[in-house]
């Protein structure tokens, strides 16, 4: 059997249609923006490309439509040498598309038309040989039943599991008990359980429900790790934001790569992810990920 060294990201692929504007419009308002750009996005693909950029042995599983967006996107991923053999093409659906406005400070609003992302099924998860992989990541742009089945199959196969709960929704124990690393942002952590208004209390409750580690991403303020040993703060690197779309995905994908690179050393993996995510916001596009040398340089390291 092939040794278990690979990363698998199961998730979404969207084509991001992006306009940068002086500010995000209010409801009912029209603002004139700058030029239109199209970037490859989707939380799953963003994580897979981020992981692949730092750790080559990475595979991706997703659903895409049989249309020009889907065909071009798959070609782009192949050019990056990402293993897309688990990506399914669905004939009767459009590919995922995201409409995005980016404001002057890099902040953004996003609306997704998920299309084929919602066709990835429970059966698709059951057909994956998860024993090939050591670390498997999910997000919530697929059907929740698919994510739940995927997490269960991955856990039963002995994988470490990562879940980015975005777009956020309430999560029950059938999901939470199979999550080794939950990576919400500060808004999402208050949306995955009912009745919490404080990050610390929500993290504590999540750990009681079976999540092994909660890592809350806090944008420019860094991130917070919570687990049974307590909590720890990590800093972000202060770089000028141009576009923060996909920064959380870059964090999650780079974190997985960090777990591989540093032999599951959580502390080192979070530091690597923080540096990679800090660099990602200095460029337009959800997948403008820095190479390992650049990330290490920002961390003040010459090599691993
Ligand atoms: O997290 C950023 C991503 O969210 C974008 O790339 C967009 O496609 C949506 O999925």
Q: What is the pLDDT of residue 288?
A: 84
102 CB less than 6 Å from ligand 1? no
Confidence of residue 153 (pLDDT cuts 50, 70, 90): very high
Greatest distance between any 2 Cα atoms in the chain? 58
Compute, in degrees rounded to 10, the torsion defined by CA atoms 165, 20, 274, 96.
40
24 CB less than 6 Å from ligand 1? no
Return the percentage of the chain with pLDDT > 70, whole number: 99
Q: What is the pLDDT of residue 52?
A: 98
- Evaluate if residue 243 carries a pLDDT over 80: yes
- Evaluate if residue 157 carries a pLDDT over 80: yes
Q: How far is CA 267 from CA 64, 247, 276, in A?
A: 35, 19, 15
Q: Within 13 Å, how many C-alpha atoms sit on residue 163's CB side? A: 33
> Is 112 a domain residue?
no
pLDDT, mean of residues 243-262: 97
Looking at the structure of the chain, the number of domains it has is 1
Work out the burial of residue 174: count CB atoms within 10 Å of its CB; fewer than 13 is exposed, 13-18 middle, 19 or more buried: middle
Confidence of residue 303 (pLDDT cuts 50, 70, 90): confident
> Is 65 a domain residue?
yes
Q: What is the pLDDT of residue 3?
A: 56
> Is 105 a domain residue?
no
Q: Per-residue pLDDT tens for 280-296?
A: 999 999 998 899 999 99
Ligand 1 atom, smallest distance to 16 CA: 8
245 CB less than 6 Å from ligand 1? yes
In what order do the strands lie in the sheet containing 230-234?
Answer: 58-61, 6-10, 133-138, 160-163, 181-182, 213-217, 223-227, 230-234
Q: Per-residue pLDDT tens for 77-91?
A: 999 999 999 999 999
11 CB less than 6 Å from ligand 1? no
Q: What is the pLDDT of residue 2?
A: 45
Domain of 283 in residue numbering reads as 6-13+42-92+117-298
How many angstroms does the Cα of residue 303 sit away from the middle of ligand 1?
31
How many angstroms does the Cα of residue 250 sit away from the middle of ligand 1?
11
Q: What is residue 238's three-state secondary structure?
A: coil
> Is 99 a domain residue?
no
278 CB less than 6 Å from ligand 1? no
98 CB less than 6 Å from ligand 1? yes
> Is 66 a domain residue?
yes
> Is 33 a domain residue?
no
- Evaluate if residue 215 carries a pLDDT over 50: yes
How many angstroms does the Cα of residue 240 sit away from the middle of ligand 1?
21
Q: What is the pLDDT of residue 21?
A: 96
Closest residue to atom 6 of ligand 1, CA basis: 41
156 or 3, higher pLDDT: 156
Q: Per-residue pLDDT tens for 259-277?
A: 999 999 999 999 999 999 9
Confidence of residue 1 (pLDDT cuts 50, 70, 90): very low
How many angstroms does the Cα of residue 13 sit away from the middle of ligand 1?
8
> Is 214 a domain residue?
yes
Most ligand 1 atoms within 8 A of CB, residue of 97, 246, 254, 281 to mutate:
246
Domain with residue 203: its CATH number is 3.40.1190.20
Ligand 1 atom, smallest distance to 249 CA: 1
Q: Per-residue pLDDT tens for 165-209?
A: 999 999 999 999 999 999 999 999 999 999 999 999 999 999 999
> Is 195 a domain residue?
yes
43 CB less than 6 Å from ligand 1? yes
**CA 118/CA 12 separation, integer angstroms:** 9
Q: Per-residue pLDDT tens for 101-131?
A: 999 988 999 999 999 999 999 999 999 999 9
């Amino acid at each position: 059997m092939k040794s278990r060294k690979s990363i698998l990201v199961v998730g979404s692929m969207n084509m991001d249609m992006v306009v940068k504007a002086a500010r995000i419009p209010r409801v009912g308002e029209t603002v004139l923006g700058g030029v239109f750009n199209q970037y490859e996005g989707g939380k799953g693909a963003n994580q897979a490309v981020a992981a692949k950029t730092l750790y080559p042995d990475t595979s991706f599983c997703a659903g895409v439509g049989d249309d020009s967006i889907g065909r071009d996107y798959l070609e782009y991923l192949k050019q990056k040498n990402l293993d897309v053999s688990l990506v399914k093409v669905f004939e009767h659906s459009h590919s995922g598309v995201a409409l995005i406005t980016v404001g002057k400070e890099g902040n953004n609003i996003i609306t997704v038309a998920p299309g084929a992302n919602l066709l990835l099924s429970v059966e698709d998860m059951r057909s994956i040989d998860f024993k090939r992989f050591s670390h498997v990541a999910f997000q919530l742009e697929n059907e929740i039943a698919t994510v739940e089945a995927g997490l269960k199959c991955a856990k039963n196969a002995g994988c470490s599991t990562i879940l980015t709960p975005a777009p956020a929704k309430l999560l029950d124990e059938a999901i939470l008990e199979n999550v080794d690393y939950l990576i919400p942002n500060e808004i999402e952590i208050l949306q995955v359980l009912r009745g919490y208004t404080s990050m610390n209390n929500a993290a504590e409750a999540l750990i009681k429900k079976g999540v092994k580690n909660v890592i809350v991403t806090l944008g420019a303020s860094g991130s917070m790790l919570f687990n049974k040993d307590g909590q720890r703060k990590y800093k972000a690197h202060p770089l000028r934001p141009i576009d923060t779309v996909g920064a959380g995905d870059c964090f999650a994908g780079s974190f997985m790569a960090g777990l591989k690179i540093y032999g599951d050393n959580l502390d080192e993996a979070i530091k690597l992810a923080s540096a990679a995510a800090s660099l990602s916001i200095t460029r337009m596009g959800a997948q403008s990920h820095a190479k390992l040398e650049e990330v290490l340089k920002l961390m003040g390291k010459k090599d691993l």
